[in-house]
Amino acid sequence: MVSVVVFLLLFIVFSYLGLKGKDFKAGNLDLLHEWALGGQRFGALLLWFLIGADLFTAYTFIAVPSGLFAKGPIFFFAVPYVAMGFGVALAVMPKFFAISKEKCHITAVDFVKDRYNSKALAITIAIVGILAELPYIALQIVGMKVVLATLLMQFKGINQNFINELSLSIAFLILSWFTYKSGLRGATLTAVLKDFLILGTVVVLSLYIPLHYHGFYKAFEIKKAYATLNPKLISAYISLSVMSALALFLYPHAITGCLSSSDVKVLKRSIAFLPVYGIGLAILALFGVLIYEVKPAMDMLNHIPASARGSFVVPALIVSTMPQWFSGIALLGIFIGGLVPASIMAIASSNLMVNILRELNIANSSNETKIAKWFSFLFKLIPLFFVFVVPPTFAIALQLVGGIIVLQTLPSIFLGLFIKNLNKESLMMGLLAGIGFGVYELESVNHFGLIQNILMPSPFGPIFIGAAALGVNIAIVALGSFYQYIFRNNAQ
């Protein structure tokens, strides 16, 4: 009971901050870049929170520990992914930022349109960006449902499913309301609250539980096979981490986060320190193994069907080892850990929608902010339908499906920054071929059923489907651009 009261009280504080956000570094919220990019006035510390907030989401708290719990060390790939991801960001984003700032771009789509002078390519990239965000938002929803289910478990004899759905809807309505009112400012302020709660939770849990149970000895005794990576999976480990790292800053919301910075120096400094943030992610991931030595938590998990069991690892560890008031705080942290990123992702997707409508001459400067605000609402609802495509234990597959899709925009966005002679028709063909290949492989390795597997066979061993799809894509872009280059030279 205490945990529910603490949870609700903190949620009220959270909503208040979200609404108050509109007065924070105030600006005219009827202008799109004020609403969507916080007026580009965010300094290093706030940026650190805003971009870092993307790291501590349901992916970190629910999906990765669940993967380790069910399948072992292969899912520790999330750690090198974080380290490499910020390296990719440092290599690419300063250049991207400079160009965007100079030409007042708000999204990657503005950049693509300007660079290749192609409406069709710009619209396609926008659609692909939105498609990639939807499963990622769905992952956040899975996480929030797990938290609510954990909170409700203590009450016997009520309709748990109904109350779960009801509370989730209420939370979403409140979130949508303040996203509408305060835009990215609201999300950033609540991201600070979320990070404090979550960092507190991570520090307490990662000191208390391993020390209380005398380290990880017993857990790795019970799960001997989890001690090292199966050499057969090295190709999978590398491809998953490298491809996820490349995808990280192709996501529209990550680009939005970067563009809200006040200048390049600030951006670079805040990114350089972000890998340290990954330590929390790594320890949470290890909870997926640690839980095997914590008996009360395992007893809890045994009541949950196997298809969802893994997703309860961290919440079960919290409620079975911590006092009620602390559980309330920690669970709220995880809950808004899904809610805030969902909001940031929805804002980014709606910016892209405005891009599309502007190309089609439907949106203009008088109505674009209103359109973006309404779409940010819609993009929180659509992902509800994706939640059921993946069993909760393999919720990480949702993020990886988004990865397969968003990776296909890499040639147009990242390569386009460094290589001048890319040809727009080949970029388009490569993009479509990459997505077609990726989706087909994904469906065929899962036998057109629920998505659990994201690896496919290759001459080097199993690899992440996204790697092969990107390979197909780049091959087409390279061949096409090279052909055009030669052809043009001969014609002159």
Partner 1 sequence: MYYILLFIPTIVYMLIFLYNHKSPEFLGMPFFYWFQILMLVITSIFYVLAVFLGKDDG
Residue ranges that bind partner 1, judged by CB under 8 A:
73, 76, 79-80, 82-84, 86-87, 90-91, 93-98, 210, 214-220, 227-229, 231, 234, 237-238, 241-242, 245, 264, 268-269, 271-276, 278-279, 282-283, 286
| Nearest residue (CB) to partner 1, 238 versus 445 | 238
Q: How far is the CB of 238 from partner 1 (least distance, A)?
A: 6
The residues, ordered by sequence, that sit 6+ positions from 449 with a Cβ below 8 Å of its Cβ are none
Q: How far is the CB of 462 from partner 1 (least distance, A)?
A: 14
Tokens, residue 82: 């974080």
Could you tell me which of 39, 45, 47, 43 has the C-alpha nearest to residue 22? 39
From 334, 44, 305, 394, select the one nearest 201 (Cα to Cα): 334
Q: Which is nearer to partner 1, 50 or 283 (CB)?
A: 283
DSSP string, 297-332: HHHHHTTS-HHHHGGGHHHHHHHHHS-HHHHHHHHH
What's the min distance (Å) between Cβ of 15 and partner 1? 34
The SS3 of residue 45 is: helix
CB of 219 to partner 1, least distance (A): 7
CB atoms inside a 10 Å sphere around CB 425: 15
Main-chain phi, psi angles of 239, to 5 degrees? -65, -35
Paired strand residues for 455: 464
Cα pseudo-dihedral 385, 178, 167, 8, rounded to 10: 150
Q: Which is nearer to partner 1, 153 or 238 (CB)?
A: 238
Nearer Cβ to partner 1 (167/270) = 270
Task: Supply the minimum distance, in Å, between the C-beta of residue 372 and partner 1.
Answer: 28
**Residue with tokens 């797990």, as numbered in its chain:** 146
- Nearest of 82, 95, 76 to residue 52 by alpha carbon: 82
Our CB check for partner 1 shows the closer of 287 and 437 to be 287
Q: Secondary structure of 114-182 in the HEC alphabet?
A: HHHCCHHHHHHHHHHHHHHHHHHHHHHHHHHHHHHHHHHCCCCCCCHHHHHHHHHHHHHHHHHHHHHHH
Nearer to partner 1, 155 or 217 (CB): 217
Residue number with CB closer to partner 1 (44 or 126): 44
What is the 8-class DSSP label of residue 463?
Answer: E
Is the CB of 20 or the CB of 101 nearer to partner 1? 101
Q: CB 345 → partner 1: shortest distance, Å? A: 25
Residue located via tokens 């061949």: 479
Give min distance, CB of 217 to partner 1, in A: 3
Please, what's the b/e burial string for 63-75 (b: 16 or more CB within 10 A of its CB; e: otherwise)?
bbbbbbbbbbbbb
Q: How far is the CB of 416 from partner 1 (least distance, A)?
A: 15
Please, what is the minimum distance in Å from the beta carbon of residue 307 to partner 1?
27
- The residue (of 18 and 257) whose beta carbon lies closer to partner 1 is 257
